[in-house]
């Protein structure tokens, strides 16, 4: 059941799932336990977003900078992603969820790439919520890869530089075809983007919530969506106040 008015629900919510390590530390547990608990919060967030009528949910799962963490933690995170896809793919498919992966696919270990491709392929024709998993993702890396592609097209004489518009750049990013996020939420009280969707979030509403990711419940999510409904979005314009509210 959707507890929110459909007209005020953001079409695309993107979440920086932060604070797994601190959640575990606060309990005297190893960081890996925080990540494991974080997977449960992922399942709940997908369900809540879907029930509330969100069309796209993007989750920042592993950044291109997270490789700098200790090897054991990187390996825990890779293991969790693999387990998540192996265990949850069938359920997500049954729930009509369509999966998209964004991030650099080069140089991923041999057993991860096939799983990511399988998740996308299996759910390609689903018509429910699109779950976008940002994995080995960093905005600057994404933009550099897109620029290299466009530069190669120009060098080959297939693209005139004057055709490099914001739309063309957007269509060259990993998120091609996905609308820009309306709302970016970061958990754990940190107030930064950490190289997440820098291009796409140009006009997103930003929300920083104090809960560590494993504590991000259905209630917390719905409260964030309710706060979003009160925001006024202007996109640089000057519409009369009455038409500015998200839900108008």
Q: Are 217 and 185 in contact (CB under 8 A)?
A: no
| Alpha helix (H) residue ranges in the chain | 20-25, 31-52, 71-94, 112-123, 139-155, 166-172, 218-230
Any binding-site annotation on 160? no
62 binds ligand IPE (CB under 6 A): yes
Any binding-site annotation on 27? no
For 182-203, give one letter per residue: b (16+ CB within 10 A) or e. Answer: bbbbbbbeeeebebbbebbbee
Q: Indicate the residue among 67 and 203 with the shorter CB distance to Mg ion.
A: 67
Closest to 190 (Cα-Cα) out of 12, 17, 41: 17
18 binds Mg ion (CB under 5 A): yes
50 binds, among Mg ion, ligand IPE, none (CB under 5 to 8 A by kind): none
Q: How far is the CB of 207 from ligand IPE (least distance, A)?
A: 15
95 binds ligand IPE (CB under 6 A): no
Q: How far is the CB of 40 from ligand IPE (least distance, A)?
A: 14
207 binds ligand IPE (CB under 6 A): no
Rounded to whole angstroms, how far apart are CA atoms 47 and 243? 31
84 binds ligand IPE (CB under 6 A): no
Which residue's C-beta sits nearest to ligand IPE?
21
Q: Are 129 and 56 in contact (CB under 8 A)?
A: yes
**Active site positions, annotated:** 18, 66
Residues that bind ligand IPE (CB under 6 A): 16-22, 60-63, 66, 77, 188, 190, 192, 194, 213
């Amino acid at each position: 059941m959707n507890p929110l008015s459909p007209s005020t629900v953001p079409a695309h919510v993107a979440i920086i799932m932060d604070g797994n390590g601190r959640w575990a530390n606060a309990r005297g547990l190893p960081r890996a336990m925080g990540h494991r608990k974080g997977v449960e919060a992922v399942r709940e967030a997908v369900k809540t977003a879907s029930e509330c009528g969100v069309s796209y949910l993007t989750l920042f799962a592993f950044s291109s900078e997270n490789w700098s963490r200790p090897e054991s933690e990187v390996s825990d995170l890779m293991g969790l992603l693999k387990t998540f896809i192996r265990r949850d793919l069938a359920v997500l498919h049954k729930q009509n969820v369509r999966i998209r992966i964004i991030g650099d696919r080069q140089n991923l270990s041999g057993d991860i790439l096939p799983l990511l491709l399988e998740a996308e392929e299996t759910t390609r024709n689903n018509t429910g919520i699109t779950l976008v998993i940002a994995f080995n993702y960093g905005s600057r890396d994404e933009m550099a890869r897109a620029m290299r592609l466009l530069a190669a097209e120009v060098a080959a004489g297939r693209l005139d530089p004057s055709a490099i518009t914001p739309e063309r750049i957007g269509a060259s990013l990993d998120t091609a075809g996905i609308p820009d996020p309306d709302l970016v939420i970061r958990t754990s009280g940190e107030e930064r983007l950490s190289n997440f969707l820098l291009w796409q979030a140009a006009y997103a509403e930003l929300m920083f919530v104090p809960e560590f990711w494993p504590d991000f419940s259905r209630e917390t999510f719905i409260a964030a969506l309710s706060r979003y409904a009160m925001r006024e979005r202007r996109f640089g314009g000057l519409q009369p106040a009455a038409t500015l509210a998200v839900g108008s």
